[in-house]
Amino acid sequence: MKSVLIIGAGQFGTHIAVRMNELECEVMAVDSSEERISAILPYVTNAQIGDSTNAEFMYSLGIPDFDVCIVTISSNFQNSLETTALLKELGAKRVISRAQNDVQEKFLLRNGADATVYPEKQTAVRLATNEASDAILDYFQLGSDTAIYEMLVPKEWDGETVRDLDIRRKYQLNIIAMRAESKLTMLLPDTVLHTDDRILVFGSFDALRKCFRI
pLDDT at 119: 81
Distance CA 38, CA 47 (A): 9
CATH 3.40.50.720 region(s) of the chain?
Answer: 3-117
CATH of 122-212, one of 3.30.70.1450, 3.40.50.1100, 1.10.1200.10, 3.40.50.720: 3.30.70.1450
- For domain 3-117, is the CATH number 3.90.1150.10? no
Neighbours of 137 (CB within 10 A): 15
Per-residue pLDDT, 197: 87
Q: What does the pLDDT read at residue 27?
A: 96
pLDDT at residue 68 in the model: 97
Q: Specify whether the CB–CB gap between 95 and 69 falls below 8 A.
A: yes
Within the chain, which residue ranges are assigned CATH 3.30.70.1450?
122-212
Task: With a cut of 70, list the residues of the chain below it in pLDDT.
Answer: 144, 182
pLDDT of residue 13: 93
In sequence order, the 6+-apart residues with CB closer than 8 A to the CB of 47 are 9, 28, 29, 30, 31, 37, 40, 41
pTM of the model: 0.71
Q: How far apart (Å, rounded) are the C-alpha atoms in residues 125 and 53?
A: 32
